[in-house]
Chain A
Amino acid sequence: MPIIYSELHAIAQGYLRRERAGHTLQPTALVHEAWLRLVKQDHVSFENRRRFYALAAEMMRKILVDHARGLNTEKRGGGSARARVGTVVDYSAARADDFLALDDALVELARVSPRKAQVIELRYFAGLSVEEMSGLLNVSTATISREQKTAEAWLSHAIAAGE
């Protein structure tokens, strides 16, 4: 498993480093690419897709978190960087802050409702649809939808409230 993990990591890194300006994040393309590269190596065999997607999503998230932390190296005392607009660097840091807030909230959500957190992760970091998640997690689409909405509402609130 560690081999896969680091491979996936490398893939995601590579993926993200490519030019993305103007294009939305395409997690499905990432996952697809990851799948293809991984299965090229014979020692990989995923028992079920759920594990793969969960892993991919987790990976993607982790990379972004790492990067956000990298961008956020300078915490200049109290108050977020958002307050100091103007320079590109600050703008970067502001985005990083937002993301880290999201990540924190997600961690918290996972503690009380693991499935909701997973739904969000799969949706946003692996790009799965409601139907696909329903199939993977073995839960009705109605339930997925409902859980997704609830989670989104809470997370948005959490991010906003953190400002």
Chain B
Amino acid sequence: MSMRQKLTEERWRRLEALFEAAVELPASQQETYILRETAGDPALQSALAGMLAHAGDGAGKIAQVIEGLAQETSSATQWIGRRFGPYRLAGEIGRGGMGLVFEAVRADDEYQKTVALKIAPWWRDVDLLRERFRHERQILADLEHPNIARFLDGGTEDGIPYFAMEYVRGVHITEYAARIPLAERIHLFRKVCAAVHHAHERLVVHRDLKPANILVDQEGSPKLLDFGIAKLLSPVPDADGKTTEPMLCTPDYTSPEQIRGLPVTTRTDIYSLGLILYEILSGKRAQTADTSSPLAFDQSICEGEPELVSVRAANRALAGDLDTIVAMAIRKEPERRYGSVAELSDDLLRYLDGEPVKARPGTFFYRAGKLVRRHRVVFAAATLLAASLATGIVTTLHQARRAEWRFEQVRKLANAFVFDVHDRVENLPGSTEARKAIVQTALVYLENLAEDATGDAALSRELAAAWEKIGDVQGRPSASNIGDAAGAINSYRRAEKLLTPLEARGDNAAARQLASVSARLGAVRRAQGEVRVAMADYARGAAICDRLLASAPQDREILNVAGEIYADITRAFLALDDRPAAEQAAEKTKQIAERCIALDPAGLDARDKLSYAHTSIGAARLARGRLEEAAESYRAAIAIRAQLVVDAPDHTAFRRNLMVSYGTLGDVLGFRTADNLGDTAGATAAFRKATEIAEWLCRNDPADRKAQFDLSSAYMRLGSVLAEDPRETAAGLRQLLEAERINSALHAADPKNYRYRYNSMFMDRKIGEALDQMGRTGEAIARLEAAQALAIELKNGPDGPGARLQNVLASLRLARIRSRTHDPRATALADAIATEVETPPTLLKSQRLDATISGGLGRIYRQIGQPGRALPWLERSRKSWNEAKLPRALESSRDRELAELRSELAALPAIQIPSTVAAR
């Protein structure tokens, strides 16, 4: 009978306190302590004494008890004697595996042959097993090889599957190998390889190779067990055909593809063989599964790189080729392992013979490339994208909704397709649809990630980078985009929001990104006509760049961003008509570009930057009225860009840049309203080139709005210049109309876009003039009036002065037409023009423009019979012509104009000239 008293809380507390105190005492003092403290309470005394007696081995005792029962639970005793098919279980065999294994004999006692019988009592789906068995049975039965334990029979009994196999006596291969020298181990292993290879050739994959499945008998002959059984007993796939359960019996020997539910192939066996080879050579396991959680499990198998065999075994004899061979067999990616077991075996033979082996160590570069390949997407629809992404989620065993897993996975996923896929897609022609698809999916993922990001700087940066990329695709002006400027601004701002606090805390990586985002934000805003807001963005970006460059002047990334920012700032200042600032910014751009070239003279990027710098400087020179110098800069840019197109024909960006350069050159040569070099031929040639490229770009990506706009602009320019030549007016008109057609479509999709509206107005005017030239007066009038109306609307926009000028020019032409027809409306028009011209800020930015407009106005006044008003304008025109510094090409025009003015003036009736007017 037990001497234990039932415990109460009170007694327990007493006992516990006494024990904890007593256990600290040295043994000699314990007895006295017990006697003293438990005097008068024999039950307490014996309990305390008992506890102290077991203090040392308590754990062991408990473990033993539990162990004992556990063994009983799985014990064979309940099965022995039972029949399975023609067999009767005789005794238990100690082996691991997905079932219990017994010695069995045939029940009919005809043969006393012993077989190994494996039963799987927990298997539920008998029908499935039968089905599988039907397919596999013959294959397995035919598998005959001296080193493979033969499969004899199989079936079910009482719903419990059984498999009869050749009975093999031996020790685990690892145990056996430990006792033999290195070369013999390899020989032994090669025998195993031969057996596996034999099975592979007959399309049987083992799937569960491990040391426990490879027994070696006393003669040193290995035998592989359980071939094909694993497949029969493999877990049931779920609805979409993917198995999410890996082999669970021995986590340490699981392969990465098994964990991720990817197909199990012969290469899986190669992986297992690699692990076994590792263990045979070093005595240690290559990998140890961390089974504490699904994520840990996945990481411990799929990510940890095992140490080299030689290192792990601390055995120099294994170093070199053996390291490489093993490493190749146990590569995480199946396709990077040996292609067949025979190859592995051959390489080992080469090693033994002292010949060079075929295995190659992996390189980081290769691994990085692999990552991109794994995420390769066929450039078609979002469904394919979604499929590839979904695969990424489903094939992990991470069905658990643990925050960490989701975080990690989604982050990887977002990175993968946003960067890997997008970068690949970005530079190829014809990819806007694909990019739209990417954007859609990306936005969804990024939204999901946003909540998880706070507090993690690295993730915030990654997210911000992703937002930035999305913004680029949505509407970055200098790249091909899907035309969603508002979306782009939104995305960039989200990136800013994530980065700003980090930058404030001194995070330089975040600072770089922020500079880049600010630049882009400015660019989009500027394109939308919000120049002042854009300047603020640029200023922020520039400040960051300056700060970062101060401590790292050769940082290419920052130099690139800074170059972009300053180029944009130059353009913005020009748009705001702040010439000194524009020139300053342009100089900065050139300096940065030169620094970039110094760092990388042959690099495409640096040269690209320099071409931008030339362009900026050209723009600044132009603003200063130095047209020849501006043309020089543009030609320099063209030279660089043309070469870049040759060097990198697939980079649409370079082509676009070249087109833009031809455009700006043409502008200076003979198109710019305010002033140009009068080189019509040169302008035409340049514009033809620009048109060619624009047409190419549109053909290659019909959905690209930027390309369409560029084409429209190119046609517009070409058309304008042609139309001015009386022999080419019709051709010019055709171009202009085509330009208008494209522009209208764009305008309809983005009605607020200032550029589209401006061009529309400009084209109305040019078309009007061309029509007038061709004698289609009625249509001309309509067009010119339309241009006027639009110009008035646009006066308050970013290019207000430009709009005013266009208005004047359109009105001038209109007035000329009206005066020709003696239409009284001419007077009002002329007066309006005069007022506009005299209203500051001055419209007439150059002498030539002044001369032209004054002359035109004077003629109109004379035509409508107001000589008093005509005279001052005509005089003014003459003065301007005389004072104007003109390029050579325009000298003859000037002479012509002056001659005409003389005759106009002469034709005026004599009138009293007020002194104030004469003084002009």
Contacts and interface: CB of A to CB of B under 8 A. Distances in A.
A78 B879 CA distance: 136
Contacts of A96: 69, 72
Contacts of A74: none
A63, A95, A124, A157: residue with the most chain B Cβ atoms closer than 10 Å = A157
Contacts of A150: 16, 19-20, 51
B74 A157 contact: no
Contacts of B699: none
Contact of B72 (A71, A109, A124, A153): A71
B73 A64 contact: yes
A149 B292 contact: no
Interface in B159-176: none
A35 B399 CA distance: 10
Given A21-B94, A95-B68, A152 B59 contact: yes
Contact of A40 (B50, B248, B399): B399
Q: Chain A's interface: helix, strand, loop or mixed, by majority?
A: helix
Contacts of B59: 148, 152
Interface string A16-34: 1111111111001101110
B580 interface: no
Contact of A152 (B54, B122, B249): B54
B50 to A, nearest CB: 3
Given A39-B399, A40-B244, A22 B73 contact: no
Contact of B58 (A24, A95, A155, A161): A155
A102 B71 contact: no
B96 interface: yes
Interface in A124-150: 124-125, 132, 146, 148-150
Contact of B294 (A25, A39, A64, A99): A39
Contacts of A13: 122
B98 A18 contact: yes
Nearest to A89: B77
A111 B13 CA distance: 12
A51 interface: no
B70 A152 contact: no
A33 to B, nearest CB: 5
B49 to A, nearest CB: 9
Contact of A112 (B12, B47, B293, B400): B12
Interface in B234-278: 238, 244-246, 248-249, 251
B92 A21 contact: yes
A25 B3 CA distance: 32
Given A98-B69, A156-B57, A160-B50, A111 B7 contact: yes
B485 to A, nearest CB: 41
B614 to A, nearest CB: 61
Contact of A108 (B6, B72, B75, B401): B6
A25 to B, nearest CB: 5
B63 interface: yes
A97 B101 CA distance: 27
Interface in B38-81: 46-47, 50-55, 57-59, 61-63, 65-77
B34 to A, nearest CB: 13
Nearest to A25: B70
B138 interface: no
B121 interface: yes
Contacts of B66: 25, 64, 99, 102, 124-125
Contacts of A112: 7-9, 11-13
Contact of A20 (B4, B70, B251, B400): B70
A126 B192 CA distance: 37
Nearest to B399: A39
A95 B244 CA distance: 38
Nearest to B291: A32
Given A146-B20, A160-B50, A18 B99 contact: yes
B145 to A, nearest CB: 25
A39 B586 CA distance: 61
A98 B400 CA distance: 38
A91 B75 CA distance: 12
Contacts of A32: 248, 251, 291-292, 297
Contacts of A108: 6-7
Nearest to A71: B72
Nearest to B121: A17
Given A19-B95, A159-B61, A35 B121 contact: no
B97 interface: yes
A13, A40, A162: residue with the most chain B Cβ atoms closer than 10 Å = A40
A160 B291 contact: no
Interface string A60-81: 0001100110010000000000
B100 interface: yes
Nearest to A155: B62
Given A99-B68, A112-B12, A152-B62, A161 B397 contact: no
A14 interface: yes
A131 to B, nearest CB: 11
Interface in A80-101: 88-89, 92, 95-96, 98-99, 101
B69, B97, B297: residue with the most chain A Cβ atoms closer than 10 Å = B69
A98 B73 contact: no
A6 interface: no
A19 B94 contact: yes
Given A36-B245, A112-B7, A156-B54, A19 B96 contact: yes
B294 A17 contact: no
A158 B11 CA distance: 15
Nearest to A151: B58
Contacts of B238: 40
A160 B2 CA distance: 9
B736 to A, nearest CB: 63
A16 B2 contact: no
A39 B244 CA distance: 10
A116 to B, nearest CB: 9
Contact of A153 (B3, B52, B67): B52
Nearest to A162: B2
Contacts of A155: 58, 61-62
A37 B243 CA distance: 11
A8 B816 CA distance: 95
A113 B16 CA distance: 10
B54 A153 contact: yes
Given A19-B101, A112-B7, A124 B245 contact: no
A109 B96 contact: no
A22 B13 CA distance: 40
Contacts of A35: 293-294, 400
Interface in A97-122: 98-99, 101-102, 108-109, 111-113, 120
B7 A157 contact: no
A102 B66 CA distance: 9
Nearest to A95: B68
Contacts of B246: 36
Contacts of B251: 29, 32
B74 A20 contact: yes
A95 B11 CA distance: 30
B69 A95 contact: yes
A21 B71 CA distance: 6
Contacts of B397: 36, 39
Contacts of B53: 157
Interface of A: 13-14, 16-25, 28-29, 31-33, 35-37, 39-40, 42, 45-46, 63-64, 67-68, 71, 88-89, 92, 95-96, 98-99, 101-102, 108-109, 111-113, 120, 124-125, 132, 146, 148-162
Given A96-B72, A102-B65, A156-B58, 11 more contacts: A16-B73, A17-B74, A20-B74, A25-B67, A31-B291, A32-B291, A45-B401, A95-B68, A99-B68, A152-B58, A161-B50
15 contacts: A18-B99, A18-B249, A19-B95, A20-B70, A32-B248, A32-B251, A35-B400, A40-B245, A92-B72, A99-B68, A101-B65, A146-B20, A149-B23, A157-B51, A161-B46
6 residue pairs, one from A and one from B, having the closest CB atoms: A152-B58, A157-B50, A156-B54, A32-B291, A14-B122, A112-B12
